Chain A
Amino acid sequence: MSQSICLIDTSKCMGCRGCQAACKQWNQLPAEETTFEGSYENPPRFSANTWLRVSFREHEGNNSRVDWYMAKLGCMHCTDAACMQACPAGAIFRSEEGTVNIDPVKCIGCNYCVTACPFQVIGFDRLSNKTRKCTFCLDRLESGLPPACAQVCPTGSITFGDRRDLVARATNRVAQLKAAGKVNANLYGLDELDGTKMMYVLADEPEKYGLPADPQVPVQTRIWNAIFTPLRLLVVVAVAFGLWSNRSQTREIEQAKRGGE
């Protein structure tokens, strides 16, 4: 399996959101209708059409020094991936490139992965009844190209490369930041969920960027996975039936609504 990862050095991120636009462009994701609600961070949450967001978080320390942290957020492509364990349909798979992807053909739209994801980066598309998220630009990787976000980043905040090289670089960078007074600088994604394919150099604590301090696969997901994996076929049929009936009902309601217009 490929040992390539993305390293996201937040100390070099200036929030230009080139990555956010590049993600939408490469994946041809439609724009969402948003409003300005007091923060540069927009759209406010992940969805089926928003796979990458840059967080903008303001913090004020005791010495009244203001920090404005920005970071590219999205699917982490975890080794211990909660979504894979939660998926009853076996639709979420690990590719040859080491990325975690949703197979839209197999996805039954149950949303279990959406609730299981500790980073809350999976979106549900009502129209197609599928869940969607960052693919790590699997199509680009397979053609020997870096992910669109890494390709477009002007400062080198997002770099794509060999895991060992980037971990070494990240370790040095953390030491450099600590020496420069960023005492909370840390490497995020090395041990979290047995390692993530999106790895971060954070200049401060993870929560300050909108990342969970200690991301875990939910206990329910682990139990579910342990008990139900052997019975997967049965579960798929049952869940699929439940959703189908629910959906048919929804469609009837929608049709009734449309007829009334």
Chain B
Amino acid sequence: MTNHWNDYQHSDVMMAIGGNTAENHPISMKWIEKARETKGAKLITVDPRYCRTAAVSDLYVPIRPGTNIAYLGGLINYILQNNRYHEEYVKHYTNASFLINENFDFDAQNGLFTGAEDDPVRNATKYNMEDWQYQTDENGEILKDPDLQDPNCSFQLLKKHFAPYTIENVSKMTGAPEDVLEESYELFSSTGEPAKAGNILYAMGITQFTHGAQNTRAIAIAQLLLGNMGVAGGGVNAQRGQSNVQGATDMAMLFHIIPGYNPTPQQTHPTLQDYLDATTPEDNWWSNRPKYIVSLLKAFYGDNATRANDFGYEWLPKLDGLDHSHIPAYKYMRDGEVEGLICVADNPLVGGSSSRAKMDYQKNLKWLVSIDVVENETAAFWKGPGMNPAEIDTEVFILPACASYERDGEKANSGRWITWQYKAQEPPGDAKSDLWIVNEMFKKLQALYEAEGGTVPEQITRMHWDYDGADGEIDIVKVCMELNGYNTRTGELVTNFVGLQDDGSTACGNWLYSGYYNNLENPACKRRIREKEGLGFHQEWAFAWPLNRRNVYNRASCDLEGKPWNPDAPVIWWDENEERWVGNDVPDIPGTWTLEQSTENPFIMLPEGVGRLYSIGYQGVGGLRCGPFPTHYEPADSPVPNLLYPNATYSPTSQRFYENHTVETDEERERYPYIATSYRLVEHYQSGSVTRNQPWLNEMMPEMFVEISEEQAEEMGIRNGDTVLVESLRLYNNGEQGHIKAKACVTKRIKPLMINGEKKHIVGMPFHWGFMGMSTGDSANDLTPSVGDPNTTIPEYKAFLCNIRRA
């Protein structure tokens, strides 16, 4: 989140799109209700189902699963065509005026940007991005048109790109009625007024698509046009589905980043200098990257990291250009290339896409380690439905982990607040904290590598690993100190990341966290002082990365002179007497900067210094594989052609991993006529490992079900509560169709949608069930496709085709 849950209280209009906030983030409704009660704020819900959030919304917009870019493109077009954008903000705080290479174009027939070429390695389209770059003068300065009139300026290109996203076209693609679309666009774009704040809140219904990253980009563009970034009550707010998902991402749970959102080194960067040259811009914040990387290497390798050996950079694993995320990892497993798997608090056989197939792939493992609070489906795959234990040689180890309430530690919530949590009770039996398990495992591994060697053993043997406390147990404070950063000579903790150096004199496990534990007496993450009055930033409650900043990009909450756009909710402002930024939040501007510098660079994380309407990788920072603008592509499993780009269907840059995996032919479209989406319920949590072993929760939501409209139920002769079979192409093997079982929930809350004049039925199903635990049932993810976004490879869980039959 750029803002925080309690910042919603300052919003004038909120749009929940691709996120069922009432159901999956109930606390958000406290602040949404407050905004509605105190400011008369409005809530719009955009969702294929009339969900619990829709039930408490002012306006509900039904859309077909997988058409978020169509809907948001319509919003962008509406804002531009009706001059609803915040003109001053757009001119000065975005790259609207930047001129783009004249060769840049978009081929609407094929839905491709300039530079498309075959990518045989990924079996997809890739882009040569040469012609996407900014125009520069002989000194390398970017050329601009301050009046935004030049046909090659990004503002005009944006206008042109989204011109086809008329309300009429959007209605045909999404199925949302035209009047409802217009009402929602009118309402949300009212926040383009300088003193108004609009907030877009989302979750996995935006990200889990083959065009997920571009969905998020579309949100960012709309928010930049309306001047909603940086202000109180605004923002692009990715609501995390778990209390420490933010923390896990910060620590680089994804393969393409290393801690603190630094890119993972590639084989094409053999030396530290190569890596830093490729990823460090000349200007703005990421120009500090060398300090963060060298400090990270010092944290990894301690005294073994010296200037002479590139601080141990050569020992870091390097990517080979291939994808190593969830989907291909299981594909490699299928192909027998994976020997063992360690699953920490993860249950891919329920939570992963095409989960039934994954159960078979796990048979190829020699060993499997599952670290979890229960024996989950992934650990118990060998006794799953249709499995023959006698044929499976996989050795399974189950390490009992304790629950979060049974250990000390910190969490980073959706709003980036790092909060210390104390142990509430002792774990049962042999259960241990994840930290204890990792510490013991690593020490054993290190001893083994030292004794026996192996491939690049230095990765492990040279690792600085000293977290044992006096009592022989893991000392969590040592971990906290390393994350915060310290001086390698004196051992003194650094105040914050401004103190980090690139000469080896500091070590820091994650630069973003620097400052959160900078003293042992009263570490910031343990503070609990509520503010008495103010906007709700609570500066002395916990620690928000970076630098305890609550609203990021907050320079943009003020006009060019440094006065808040909304004087009623001032985040920061320029103090003319003191000649510096002051206010309710930590300014997102270096303290030494003049007003002029800060006005030219309100978005300090980007080398351009301004928000990107048009987004490309620039000086090694950012950019997406799939184009500078979001573009409507159909989901991989789609019932209809692409209305706007006739020769395109799904995202051309997204990678296929399996043959005959998604619906391609008319025969298949007939076989799987219904458009499905998957979701979570408030009563259960993720793969249900914990909640399906909780009788009070099972009592409320006892069984797997599928929601279908009354109209569809009548057509099919299905009554409420009947058992039905749900099928998809993922369960079609060698001419035999498999299915999952579910109870029918026949509801008024789902309606068929008119897609380009044709009636299409929509169905929805939760994905919490599996074959283990107290409440068992089939997993919706047996049906979902393993196709991913070209940038993140996040699977497309939220839009697929299925068939339903009476049992």
A, B co-complexed: yes
Interface, chain A (partner B; CB < 8 A):
11-18, 20-21, 24-25, 30-40, 42-43, 58-60, 66-70, 154-156
Please list 12 pairs of residues, one from A and one from B, whose beta carbons are closer than 8 Å in the complex, sorted by A's number: A14-B53, A17-B683, A21-B696, A21-B700, A35-B743, A36-B705, A42-B700, A42-B701, A59-B748, A154-B27, A155-B26, A155-B33
- Chain A residues positioned under 8 Å from B721 (CB to CB): 36-38
Docked complex Cα distance between A209 and B54 (Å): 17
Q: What residue in chain A is nearest B742 (Cβ atoms)?
A: A36
Asked if B698 is at the interface (CB within 8 A of a chain A CB), the reply is: yes
- Assuming the contacts A21-B697, A58-B749, asked whether A36 and B743 have C-beta atoms less than 8 A apart, the reply is yes
Q: What residue in chain A is nearest B683 (Cβ atoms)?
A: A17
Docked complex Cα distance between A253 and B764 (Å): 48
Docked complex Cα distance between A68 and B747 (Å): 10
- Chain B residues positioned under 8 Å from A156 (CB to CB): 30, 33
Contact A24–B745 (Cβ < 8 Å) = no
* Residues B315-339 near A (CB distance < 8 A): none
- Assuming the contacts A24-B696, A38-B746, asked whether A16 and B703 have C-beta atoms less than 8 A apart, the reply is no
Contact A58–B747 (Cβ < 8 Å) = yes
Docked complex Cα distance between A51 and B232 (Å): 42
Asked if B22 is at the interface (CB within 8 A of a chain A CB), the reply is: yes
Q: Mark B748-786, 1 if CB is under 8 A from A, else 0.
A: 110100000000000000000000000000000000000
- Assuming the contacts A21-B697, A68-B55, asked whether A37 and B720 have C-beta atoms less than 8 A apart, the reply is yes
- Option from B55, B698, B745 in Cβ contact (under 8 Å) with A14: B55
**Nearest CB of A to B778, in Å:** 13
- Further contacts, 10 of them, CB under 8 A, given A31-B698, A155-B30: A12-B29, A15-B682, A18-B26, A20-B700, A40-B700, A42-B701, A60-B748, A67-B55, A69-B55, A156-B33
**Nearest CB of B to A138, in Å:** 21
- Option from B50, B699, B700, B746 in Cβ contact (under 8 Å) with A68: B50
Give the one of B22, B23, B54, B743 with max A CB within 10 A.
B22
Docked complex Cα distance between A146 and B626 (Å): 54
Q: Mark B21-48, 1 if CB is under 8 A from A, else 0.
A: 0110011011001000000000000000
Q: What residue in chain B is nearest A29 (Cβ atoms)?
A: B696
Docked complex Cα distance between A33 and B697 (Å): 11
**Nearest CB of B to A110, in Å:** 28
Q: What residue in chain A is nearest B37 (Cβ atoms)?
A: A176
Contact B26–A38 (Cβ < 8 Å) = no
**Nearest CB of B to A107, in Å:** 25
Contact A58–B748 (Cβ < 8 Å) = yes
Docked complex Cα distance between A25 and B695 (Å): 11
Q: What residue in chain A is nearest B747 (Cβ atoms)?
A: A58
Contact B30–A17 (Cβ < 8 Å) = no
**Nearest CB of B to A42, in Å:** 5
Asked if B445 is at the interface (CB within 8 A of a chain A CB), the reply is: no
- Chain B residues positioned under 8 Å from A60 (CB to CB): 748
Q: What residue in chain A is nearest B722 (Cβ atoms)?
A: A38
- Chain B residues positioned under 8 Å from A11 (CB to CB): 56
Contact B702–A34 (Cβ < 8 Å) = yes
Docked complex Cα distance between A12 and B54 (Å): 12
Contact B699–A36 (Cβ < 8 Å) = no
Q: What residue in chain A is nearest B695 (Cβ atoms)?
A: A31
Q: What residue in chain A is nearest B29 (Cβ atoms)?
A: A155
- Chain A residues positioned under 8 Å from B99 (CB to CB): none
Report, as a range, how many residues of chain B touch the other chain: 35 or more
Interface, chain B (partner A; CB < 8 A):
22-23, 26-27, 29-30, 33, 50, 52-56, 682-683, 695-705, 720-721, 743-749, 751
**Nearest CB of A to B705, in Å:** 5
Contact A39–B745 (Cβ < 8 Å) = yes
- Chain A residues positioned under 8 Å from B699 (CB to CB): 24, 31-34, 42-43
Contact B701–A25 (Cβ < 8 Å) = no
- Option from A15, A33, A66 in Cβ contact (under 8 Å) with B748: A66
- Chain A residues positioned under 8 Å from B745 (CB to CB): 36, 38-39
- Chain A residues positioned under 8 Å from B701 (CB to CB): 36, 40, 42
Q: What residue in chain A is nearest B699 (Cβ atoms)?
A: A31
**Nearest CB of A to B356, in Å:** 22
Docked complex Cα distance between A42 and B683 (Å): 11
- Chain A residues positioned under 8 Å from B749 (CB to CB): 58, 66, 68
Q: What residue in chain B is nearest A21 (Cβ atoms)?
A: B696
**Nearest CB of A to B698, in Å:** 7
- Chain A residues positioned under 8 Å from B55 (CB to CB): 14-15, 67-70
Contact A35–B703 (Cβ < 8 Å) = yes
Docked complex Cα distance between A30 and B744 (Å): 27
Q: What residue in chain A is nearest B57 (Cβ atoms)?
A: A14
Docked complex Cα distance between A11 and B748 (Å): 20
Contact B702–A35 (Cβ < 8 Å) = yes
**Nearest CB of B to A244, in Å:** 33
- Chain A residues positioned under 8 Å from B702 (CB to CB): 34-36, 42
Docked complex Cα distance between A97 and B329 (Å): 61
- Chain B residues positioned under 8 Å from A42 (CB to CB): 699-702
Docked complex Cα distance between A181 and B433 (Å): 53
Give the one of A31, A36, A60, A69 with max B CB within 10 A.
A36
- Chain B residues positioned under 8 Å from A35 (CB to CB): 702-703, 743
Q: What residue in chain A is nearest B744 (Cβ atoms)?
A: A38
Docked complex Cα distance between A154 and B698 (Å): 21
**Nearest CB of A to B803, in Å:** 21
Q: What residue in chain B is nearest A24 (Cβ atoms)?
A: B696
**Nearest CB of B to A167, in Å:** 18
- Chain B residues positioned under 8 Å from A25 (CB to CB): 696
**Nearest CB of A to B162, in Å:** 30
Docked complex Cα distance between A158 and B54 (Å): 20
- Chain A residues positioned under 8 Å from B695 (CB to CB): 30-31
Q: What residue in chain B is nearest A203 (Cβ atoms)?
A: B56
Contact A17–B56 (Cβ < 8 Å) = no
- Chain B residues positioned under 8 Å from A20 (CB to CB): 700
- Assuming the contacts A37-B720, A38-B720, asked whether A154 and B700 have C-beta atoms less than 8 A apart, the reply is no
- Chain A residues positioned under 8 Å from B744 (CB to CB): 38
- Chain B residues positioned under 8 Å from A43 (CB to CB): 699
**Nearest CB of A to B153, in Å:** 43
Contact A12–B56 (Cβ < 8 Å) = yes
Contact B720–A12 (Cβ < 8 Å) = no
- Option from B30, B50, B696, B751 in Cβ contact (under 8 Å) with A154: B30
Docked complex Cα distance between A38 and B747 (Å): 8
- Chain B residues positioned under 8 Å from A38 (CB to CB): 720-721, 743-746
Q: What residue in chain A is nearest B28 (Cβ atoms)?
A: A154
Contact A154–B26 (Cβ < 8 Å) = yes
Docked complex Cα distance between A194 and B698 (Å): 38
Give the one of B22, B56, B749, B751 with max A CB within 10 A.
B56
Contact B52–A15 (Cβ < 8 Å) = yes
Docked complex Cα distance between A12 and B53 (Å): 11
Docked complex Cα distance between A147 and B107 (Å): 63
Q: What residue in chain B is nearest A23 (Cβ atoms)?
A: B696
Give the one of A31, A43, A67 with max B CB within 10 A.
A31
- Option from A14, A30, A36, A59 in Cβ contact (under 8 Å) with B56: A14
**Nearest CB of B to A48, in Å:** 14
- Option from B50, B52, B683 in Cβ contact (under 8 Å) with A66: B50
